[in-house]
């Protein structure tokens, strides 16, 4: 790197690296440092060269056929020149001195200005047209924070509703550019769902989930890609009916039918013992399925399970908890001290397997009952026994509608509570 005097001021004189020959026609460049002080010139030379390299890199990135990369390169090039990328209509409204500063920063000559510089600084770079299906592909790469810590099964269940929503929308309006999505398109999609709900007797919740997931994809891409689009996504939700509650099994049904000798013998041993473990823990099926050997504490003074992030992400921060093991749930976990490998990676088939078996053998208290009802039965027993709300919510992994002070009830105290209500 050479610093030479040019006129009354010092400049940086340096050969252009071959890598940038396609975007910089000069073999050598003079870069004004705007000082006559050698010390000041030395201080400025490094950052000035780095800024020039950044501008050349941005130009290289823009020299390709990918519209998104070209647009991103224009933003980067504007930043390398010391400006924020703005659309042409925004640039035209800038104060005169700011507009002139942008014009003066354009490289090239008066007769042949650098076209990439001009597009980046004057906002004429064509904005990329991203189709709806392309938006979904981009969405995966733009949301690593939403998938961090998820197991393969959780990731699949997180991705599938978004894939479904986009597929449904494209089937109705076509795979158009997201900049072309109109209010009529969204109303057409909403109307399509209304017809589907009526024809198939679905709940409005099905449509609203599609609208939420579709909106999440489009808004995320619009924001993260800085497209500046006004998307017609508001006031589309269908009115929900009363939420359908999953009924709890009665204690009598659990004792007389589910725990009857031989009642569950036809289930595979892991599914059977997850069901039994739910009865006196109230844990979610997926939480039990995901337990690792380290989280099953059978040799403790108080045998218990520790529900914490392991092979899968927890549903919420409140889901982290310890639950003493008593009654049939303790017996079930003693048969599986290493967990449930069959369902550890994916619990997707667990509920289906159990519910199908219970239905086929007349073990569902009503047609509306399901495996998950055992969790609600557990909570109802604590409520009937007068267990403190804080303790109930801690055991269930629910949030508390006030500040949580202290660590909560001790493990031996929780064991006493559950022994009084266990089946």
Do residues 337 and 290 both lie within one domain?
yes
Do residues 296 and 408 both lie within one domain?
yes
In the prediction, which pLDDT does 245 show? 67
Do residues 282 and 412 both lie within one domain?
yes
Do residues 203 and 71 both lie within one domain?
no
Enter the pTM of the model: 0.53
Residue 238 lies in a domain: no
Do residues 118 and 136 both lie within one domain?
no
What is the number of alpha carbons within 13 Å of residue 254 lying toward its C-beta?
24
Question: Could you say which DSSP state residue 371 is in?
Answer: T
What is the number of alpha carbons within 13 Å of residue 377 lying toward its C-beta?
26
Do residues 288 and 341 both lie within one domain?
yes
Closest CA to 149 of 42, 299, 309: 309
Neighbours of 59 (CB within 10 A): 23
In the prediction, which pLDDT does 20 show? 79
In the prediction, which pLDDT does 148 show? 85
Q: Using one digit for the tens of pLDDT, what is the confidence trace for 323-373? A: 999 999 999 999 999 999 998 876 667 887 898 899 999 999 998 898 989
Residue with tokens 């399925």: 289
Residue 343 lies in a domain: yes
How far lies 2's CA from each of 13, 55, 107, 124, 295, in Å?
Answer: 5, 20, 22, 36, 64
Spatial CB neighbours of 144, under 8 Å, sequence gap ≥ 6:
none
Do residues 405 and 277 both lie within one domain?
yes
Does residue 61 contact residue 73 with C-beta atoms inside 8 Å? yes
* Domains identified in the chain, total number: 3
Neighbours of 252 (CB within 10 A): 9
The residues facing 29 across adjacent strands are 14
In the prediction, which pLDDT does 407 show? 66
Closest CA to 297 of 317, 324, 263: 324
Residue 230 lies in a domain: no
Q: Note down the domain range covering 22.
A: 2-122
User: Which token pair is 127?
Assistant: 């904005």
Q: Domain with 315 in it: what CATH number?
A: 1.10.443.10
User: Which token pair is 137?
Assistant: 């592909």
Do residues 153 and 110 both lie within one domain?
no
The residue out of 182, 209, 224 marking a domain boundary is: 224
Does residue 378 contact residue 277 with C-beta atoms inside 8 Å? no
Residue 233 lies in a domain: no
Do residues 44 and 183 both lie within one domain?
no
Do residues 216 and 283 both lie within one domain?
no
Residues in the chain with pLDDT < 50?
Answer: 242-243
Spatial CB neighbours of 9, under 8 Å, sequence gap ≥ 6:
32, 33, 34, 35, 36
Distance CA 114, CA 23 (A): 9
Question: What b/e sequence results for 385-406 when a residue is b if at least 16 CB atoms lie within 10 Å of its CB, and e otherwise?
Answer: eebeeeebbbbbbeeeeeeeee
Residue 240 lies in a domain: no
What is the number of alpha carbons within 13 Å of residue 406 lying toward its C-beta?
6
Residue 321 lies in a domain: yes
Q: Using one digit for the tens of pLDDT, what is the confidence trace for 360-392? A: 999 999 988 989 899 999 999 999 999 988 888
């Amino acid at each position: 790197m050479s610093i030479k005097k040019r006129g009354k001021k010092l400049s940086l004189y340096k050969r252009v690296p071959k890598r940038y020959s396609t975007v910089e026609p000069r073999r050598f460049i003079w870069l004004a440092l705007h000082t006559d002080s050698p010390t000041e010139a030395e201080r400025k030379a490094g950052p000035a060269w780095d800024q020039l390299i950044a501008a050349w890199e941005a130009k290289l990135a823009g020299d390709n056929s990918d519209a998104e990369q070209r647009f991103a390169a224009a933003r980067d090039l504007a930043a390398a020149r010391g400006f924020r990328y703005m659309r042409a209509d925004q640039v035209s409204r800038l104060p005169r001195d700011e507009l002139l500063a942008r014009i003066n920063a354009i490289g090239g000559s008066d007769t042949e200005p650098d076209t990439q510089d001009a597009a980046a600084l004057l906002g004429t770079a064509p904005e990329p047209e991203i189709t709806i299906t392309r938006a979904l592909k981009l969405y995966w790469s733009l949301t690593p924070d939403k998938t961090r810590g998820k197991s393969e099964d959780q990731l699949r269940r997180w991705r599938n509703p978004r894939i479904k929503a986009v597929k449904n929308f494209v089937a109705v309006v076509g795979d158009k550019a997201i900049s072309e999505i109109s209010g009529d398109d969204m109303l057409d999609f909403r109307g399509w769902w209304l017809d589907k709900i009526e024809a198939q007797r679905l709940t409005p919740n099905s449509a609203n989930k599609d609208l939420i997931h579709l909106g999440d994809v489009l808004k995320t891409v619009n924001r993260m890609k800085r497209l500046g689009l006004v998307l017609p996504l508001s006031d589309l939700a269908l009115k929900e009916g009363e939420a359908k509650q999953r009924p709890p099994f009665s204690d009598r049904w659990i004792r007389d039918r589910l725990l009857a000798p031989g009642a569950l013998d036809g289930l595979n041993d892991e599914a059977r013992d997850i069901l039994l473990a739910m009865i006196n823990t109230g844990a979610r099926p997926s939480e039990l399925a995901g337990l690792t050997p380290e989280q099953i504490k059978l040799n403790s003074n108080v045998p218990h399970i520790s529900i914490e992030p392991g092979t899968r992400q927890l549903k919420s921060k409140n889901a982290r908890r310890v639950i003493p093991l008593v009654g049939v749930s303790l017996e079930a976990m003693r048969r599986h001290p290493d967990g449930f490998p069959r369902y550890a990676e994916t619990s997707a088939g667990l509920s289906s397997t159990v519910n199908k078996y219970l239905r086929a053998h007349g073990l569902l208290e009503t047609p509306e009952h399901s495996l998950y009802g055992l969790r609600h039965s557990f909570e109802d027993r604590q409520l009937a026994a007068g267990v403190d709300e804080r303790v109930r919510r801690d055991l269930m992994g629910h949030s508390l509608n006030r500040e949580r002070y202290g660590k909560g009830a001790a493990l031996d105290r929780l064991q006493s509570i559950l022994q009084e209500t266990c089946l």
